[in-house]
Chains A and B, each alone.
Chain A
Amino acid sequence: MTDKLRGSAAIVGVGLAGIGEAHGFSHLELLEEAARNALSEAGLTFADVDGLFTSNLVNFFPTLTVGEYLGIHPSYVDGSNLGGSSFLHYALSAAVALETGLCDVALICYGSNARSAAGRHTTAAEMPKYEAPFNPRMPAVAYALATARHMHQYGTTREHLAHAALSARQWAQLNPVAYKRDATSLDEILGSRMFCDPLTVRDACLVTDGAGAVVMVSARRAKEFAKKPVYLLGVGEAQWHRQISSMPDLTVTAATESGARAFRMAKVSRQDVDVIQLYDAFTINVILFLEDLGFCPKGDGGPFIADGLIAPGGALPVNTNGGGLSCVHPGMYGVFTMVEIAMQLRQEAGCRQIPGAEVGLCHGNGGTLSSQVTAVFGTGSTL
């Protein structure tokens, strides 16, 4: 079955809206604009959508609220909430639904006005019962604990972490829609305020507004559309825990499994990957996921990024839009990884374009290093 899914579905439209600050707009209004942008790339309208894949941090019934707002009557929906990785999960779910005929046009969408509405990330997620009595500041504390342990076991340093933030900013400076584009330096990042040791505010993702949408159809009809199809080659999911205190090893994420599954389905190797978008909620994510997805040995993630390998001009470009650290982070980031990978594989990423990019990897993280979903995309030449 997983062999059958390889290349069976493709992205034929992507859209963004309200990246950064969008005062005066609701999350549904931003979502609608991004979804409309994605559909118009494919010459489609809301009336054509029969598969709806969405969740957010404010609507308890996300597919009902969004479906009603957009005026669509889907035959298939998925509103699973895995946290920020949900949207990568929807890529798998959409591919299955498209392949089995449950729907013909899948719309994966997200919108949030986190910055202009609250100025911080708010969530309906409950605090786990056995962590709540200690008032941990979530999610930051969870990532701080993982960072501290990684430093202890592997000698990862604050400088290594700062390089992840610096690289994200350097990419953001090449992206006209990125929220934070002002020049920065390693010293400035290292000198920023500690808020959850060993993390400073510059180790944490932004709080922005923003919406993103992706339209997927079956590969059989993908060539009918205006944009070059971006094929889903492989996708894998894994989860081992919900709360950080139940994570088996704070230095190893379930991305080891999700990545292996995605690569197995995609039938490509790590060396084939031209560009990576991964969910950088905190700087440690970049280190953990590069290790766990097999791009460097466990423990080497810090030196790997400090060598500049993931920054502009590096051998393994990571988060070319500027990531959640410098481009956009409106609560759940996953969908933006797919929007950027599609731009890259369509060779439409402007001055941040990776020349000739054919294979791209997206990695979503949800909860507190809990849900891990990896998706490998490719151009038509990779089929």
Chain B
Amino acid sequence: MNDAQQAALGVGAEKAFENYLEMGELRVQRCTKCFRYQFYPRRFCVDCGGQKLEWERVSGYGFVYSSSVVRRRESNGGDYNISIIELDEGCRMMSQVVDISPEQVEIGMKVKCIVERHEGSMRVCFRPARTNKSVRVGEYDR
């Protein structure tokens, strides 16, 4: 059994997602019955009720569905971005677009995921995608 199979073995969907992030991988559940991707992780498909879901390595590409700049004093860390990202696979998640100033983030902007450690646990942020050309599924930045 490889590490990826091990990550989801004997644990709930939430823990499995965390285990994948610890391995540096963004994996998203896909229902084997209706084939929809879902986020956040659940033990069943919230669309069709199916109970068999697979953990797919997604492209990591998506676009900014909406975005805001939280204004914060410089002494407290300064302004930061909050966005909702829609993955190319169709599901959405809250995240932060980094690598550019928060005001430069625009709705519709193509972005690519970064799995990073933040305050002791792993989280998925995004940065502007350098290219629009499609990449091999599963090939993404660590």
Contacts and interface: CB of A to CB of B under 8 A. Distances in A.
Interface of A: 129-131, 133-137, 141, 144-146, 148-149, 152, 193-199, 243-246, 250
Contacts of B8: none
Given A130-B93, A145-B66, A152 B82 contact: no
B107 interface: yes
Nearest to B119: A133
A198 to B, nearest CB: 8
A146 B66 contact: yes
A137 to B, nearest CB: 5
Given A244-B94, A245-B92, A197 B103 contact: yes
Nearest to B121: A133
B69 A197 contact: yes
Given A136-B82, A250-B84, A145 B93 contact: no
Contacts of B82: 134, 136-137, 141, 144-145
Given A130-B93, A141-B70, A194-B71, A244 B84 contact: yes
Given A137-B70, A197-B68, A130 B107 contact: no
User: Chain B interface secondary structure, helix, strand, loop or mixed?
Assistant: strand
Contacts of A245: 84, 92-94
Given A148-B68, A149-B66, 7 more contacts: A133-B121, A133-B123, A134-B95, A135-B80, A144-B82, A149-B107, A197-B103
A199 B82 CA distance: 13
Interface of B: 14, 39-40, 65-71, 80, 82-84, 92-96, 103, 107-108, 118-119, 121, 123
Contacts of A149: 65-66, 107
B93 A152 contact: no
A198 B68 CA distance: 7
A120 to B, nearest CB: 15
A144 B94 contact: no
B124 to A, nearest CB: 9
Nearest to B118: A133
A131 B82 CA distance: 10
Contacts of B71: 193-197
A131 B94 contact: yes
Contacts of B107: 148-149, 152
Q: Which 6 A-B pairs have the closest CB atoms?
A: A144-B68, A245-B94, A197-B69, A133-B123, A149-B66, A145-B66
Nearest to A201: B71
Contact of A134 (B40, B65, B92, B94): B94
Contacts of B108: 152
7 contacts: A130-B39, A148-B68, A196-B70, A197-B69, A245-B84, A245-B92, A250-B84
Contacts of A131: 94
Contacts of B92: 245-246
B93 A196 contact: no
